[in-house]
Amino acid sequence: MERKIWTYEDARKILPYVRSITEEFYEEVGKVHKELKEGLYQENELEAREAKVEELLMDWSSKIRDLGIEVKGLWLVDFDNGKGYYCWHLGEEDLLFEHGYDEGFSGRKPIRDIDDED
């Protein structure tokens, strides 16, 4: 698949959809984790629930990738902007950070600061 280059505006437009998909899967995974913590399961049931978590995470990441967005970690996505990435993590209200191709999550900078450098 050809890599998609996102403008800031386009990434912000699709973000509510990305957030809703992510929140839905986050809640589903949370339910299964809660069941795992509270329950006393036979080993085969435990494995089935752990497999369910794995399946949910795979489904989430493929839905995100189908939109042309990169999955960089658990509930963490990057929008390729041609010079680096706009970066969003579950819990953030908007698309607030970006980083270069060689920097990871720890190299994130507020987007407005980077605009000043151009």
By CB atoms closer than 10 A (0-12, 13-18, 19+), residue 22 is buried
By CB atoms closer than 10 A (0-12, 13-18, 19+), residue 73 is exposed
- pLDDT at residue 118 tops 70: no
- pLDDT at residue 70 tops 80: yes
Q: What is the pLDDT of residue 113?
A: 54
The domain segmentation of the chain, as residue ranges, is 8-110
Q: What is the pLDDT of residue 46?
A: 85
pLDDT in tens, 11-36: 999 999 999 999 999 999 999 999 88
pLDDT in tens, 52-67: 999 999 999 999 999 9
Q: pTM of the predicted model, to two decimals?
A: 0.87
Distances (CA, A) of 43 to 29, 46, 55, 57: 19, 5, 18, 21
